[in-house]
Amino acid sequence: MVFGDVKIMSAGQSTESSDGFGTLRQFARRERPLERCELCSVGLASSHPHLIELAQRKLLCTCEGCAILFSGQGVKFKRVPRRVRALPNFNLSDAEWNGLMVPINMALFFKSSLEDRVIALYPSPAGATESLLELESWNDIVARNPILNEMECDVEGLLVNRLGSARGYFAAEYYLLPIDECYKLVGLIRMHWKGLSGGTEVWRELGEFFTRLKARSVEVREATQLQEEEESRA
């Protein structure tokens, strides 16, 4: 009988292993396929750099050498940074959020250097979907949150998570994070979403994603907010 790639022998059949578990041990010892650099084909470690191909918004897994060599050359590729910044005092009212016309309580905003505009995307079971964003609305948000001026074009985004806030069990979360983390979030939702409401699995995966993101992040507060906090303690 065959189960996957493993042959299960009956009691009277001979095996290559004297104890009958040789085949299972061979299966367990098989290595996962080695991930390779998409530019030079060298083997990659589990943690490796990413480049983004700007025209297609496509992520490439690369080695360190190719990441250095190809990033910053013209407008074809850019290297994706690793830093994650949590913005605990981000200033965005419910009315302003509703004015952005994003149909769910989660969205990603990033600056496209090729299109010379800010693009708003929200995750869905079908993948990332673009939402129309008025420039005036975005400029108003930036005026009250100047840290958004530090967001690097194409490779960093503002991730807004108001899912818990809408349900009343935790505050809204705001992060400046690498674009590959945003892609990971979109893929997670697309992979695990079931039925109309998503199912318990996707909500568990989302919770774990944001727990890891928060643990990895560094909190950043605006200078005016720090000054106000110091004055309130004085």
pLDDT band, very low/low/confident/very high, at 151 (cuts 50, 70, 90)? very high
pLDDT band, very low/low/confident/very high, at 124 (cuts 50, 70, 90)? confident
pLDDT for position 15: 43
pLDDT band, very low/low/confident/very high, at 30 (cuts 50, 70, 90)? low
> pLDDT, tens digit, for every residue of 181-206?
999 999 999 999 988 888 899 989 99
* 22 pLDDT more than 60: no
pLDDT for position 13: 45
| Torsion on CA atoms 174, 179, 180, 183, rounded to nearest 10 | 80
pLDDT band, very low/low/confident/very high, at 8 (cuts 50, 70, 90)? very low
> pLDDT, tens digit, for every residue of 71-119?
765 668 999 999 999 999 999 999 899 888 888 899 999 999 999 999 9
- Residue 100's Cβ-side half-sphere holds a number of Cα atoms within 13 Å equal to 25
* 209 pLDDT more than 60: yes
Highest mean pLDDT among 93-97, 172-176, 230-234: 172-176
Task: Tell me phi and psi for residue 203, to 5 degrees.
Answer: -70, -35
Q: What is the mean pLDDT of the chain?
A: 82
Query: What are all long-range contacts of 163-170, with beta carbons under 8 Å and residues at least 24 apart?
Result: 163/104, 163/105, 163/106, 163/206, 165/105, 166/105
CB 77 within 8 A of CB 62: no
pLDDT band, very low/low/confident/very high, at 5 (cuts 50, 70, 90)? very low
Positive or negative CA dihedral for 81, 184, 93, 226?
A: negative
Instruction: Report d(CA 180, CA 176) in Å as an integer.
Output: 12
pLDDT band, very low/low/confident/very high, at 1 (cuts 50, 70, 90)? very low
